[in-house]
């Protein structure tokens, strides 16, 4: 069998019902939800399992909910004997990766995620910042178009896979950028988020978040972990702290992160957590790797069977 990397999803992968089947089938998953509810002070299990969808889509609830579901799925998967040799996570998912690598406890990870979500939500006035996906243009072209917008700040913030770049910025600037992207032959998809995440407009949020990061105990990762900001491995607690703070206002270099893992021999990628967004991105990055996914008992069984075949 090849080298296994666990990859953890970020905001946008949420859906009502996520984690419910796992919690019903596996006691360790149900325990994660109970622990999260105690730590957060609100019923994360009820929100994940029953909604309402409008509340689940709010950043301050979305991020802790996805983190909790992803960790529950991770515990179930590893209890079946599947261990990663490396990890990475997309934006919010990087926190789950840090817990999987032993750098953060679940409780500290959840606390950081909750604080991050609250700070990001209020960092920029609602309705004045936007994000959108640009499909069908090279990264260099999207960067060039962003630089040409004079109506405000708009930046390329997620380099997800070939032909998919997410931009963020002030509403008017994003509108201009989307119009010019359409003229250049792109497809554009506005994203339902509450602010211009991962852009320079979030620097004040990063400053507010920094004390929380430094207050938290962080250990050296026990597994190779590729960070969003650098698309390279992190080795020390200080590197991790710096990257988590910078991640708030810096682009997510997801394509480069995955290519780094592939270059280093990782050829089995398991998306652990709700949805299959990352699996879709990886299909665009490489056709040479095995892509698996675990978000419920059905996908768990399929993944275990595929891994058995790959031995």
- Among candidate residues 91, 103, 194, 199, the one labeled active-site is 91
Enter the pTM of the model. Answer: 0.97
Does 221 lie in the same domain as 147?
A: no
Say yes or no: 245 and 179 in one domain. Answer: no
The reply to whether 91 belongs to the active site is yes
- Which residue's structure tokens are 């050296």? 220
Based on the residue annotation, tell me whether 74 is a catalytic residue of this protein.
no
Specify which residues 3 forms β-bridges with.
266
Domain holding 172: CATH number?
3.30.70.250
Residue 22's pLDDT is 98
Q: Read out DSSP for 177-202? A: HHHHHHHTT-EEEEE--SS-TTSGGG
DSSP 206-248: HHHHHHHHHHS-----SS-BB-TTTSSB--SHHHHHHHHHHHT
Supply the pLDDT for residue 311: 85
Range of the domain at 26: 3-123+201-310
Residues 218 and 258 in one domain: yes
What's the number of domains the chain is made of? 2
User: Residues 90, 198, 199, 257: which is the catalytic one?
Assistant: 198
CATH code: domain of residue 210: 3.40.366.10
Pair (55, 165) in one structural domain: no
Question: Is residue 26 domain-shared with residue 133, that is, in the same domain?
Answer: no
Task: Give residue 126's pLDDT.
Answer: 73
297, 214: one domain: yes
Average pLDDT per consecutive 10 residues, the chain (311 residues; last block may be shorter): 94 96 98 98 98 94 97 98 98 98 98 96 85 97 98 98 97 97 97 90 97 97 98 98 98 98 98 97 97 98 96 85
């Amino acid at each position: 069998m090849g080298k296994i990397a666990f990859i953890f999803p970020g905001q946008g992968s949420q859906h009502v019902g996520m984690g419910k089947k796992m919690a019903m089938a596996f006691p360790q998953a149900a325990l994660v939800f109970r622990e999260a509810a105690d730590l957060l002070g609100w019923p994360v299990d009820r929100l994940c399992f029953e909604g309402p969808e409008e509340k689940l889509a709010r950043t301050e609830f979305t991020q802790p909910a996805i983190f909790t579901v992803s960790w529950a799925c991770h515990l179930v998967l590893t209890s079946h004997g599947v261990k990663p040799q490396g990890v990475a996570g997309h934006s919010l998912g990087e926190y789950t990766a840090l817990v999987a690598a032993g750098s953060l406890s679940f409780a500290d990870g959840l606390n950081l995620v909750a604080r991050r979500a609250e700070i990001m939500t209020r960092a920029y006035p609602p309705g004045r910042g936007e994000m959108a996906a640009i499909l069908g243009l090279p990264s260099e072209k999207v960067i060039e178009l962003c630089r040409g917008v004079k109506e405000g700040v708009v930046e390329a913030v997620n380099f997800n896979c070939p032909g998919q770049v997410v931009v963020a910025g002030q509403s008017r600037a994003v509108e201009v950028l989307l119009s010019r992207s359409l003229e250049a032959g792109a497809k554009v998809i506005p994203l339902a988020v509450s602010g211009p995440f991962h852009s320079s407009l979030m620097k004040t949020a990063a400053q507010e978040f920094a004390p929380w990061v430094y207050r938290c105990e962080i250990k050296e990762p026990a597994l190779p972990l590729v960070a969003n900001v650098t698309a390279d491995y992190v080795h020390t607690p200080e590197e991790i702290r710096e990257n988590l703070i910078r991640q708030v206002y810096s682009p997510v270099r997801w394509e480069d992160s995955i290519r780094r893992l592939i270059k280093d021999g990782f050829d089995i990628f398991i998306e652990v957590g709700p949805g299959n967004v990352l699996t879709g991105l990886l299909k665009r990055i490489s056709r040479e790797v095995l892509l698996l996914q675990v978000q419920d008992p059905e996908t768990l069984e399929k993944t275990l069977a595929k891994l058995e075949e790959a031995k």
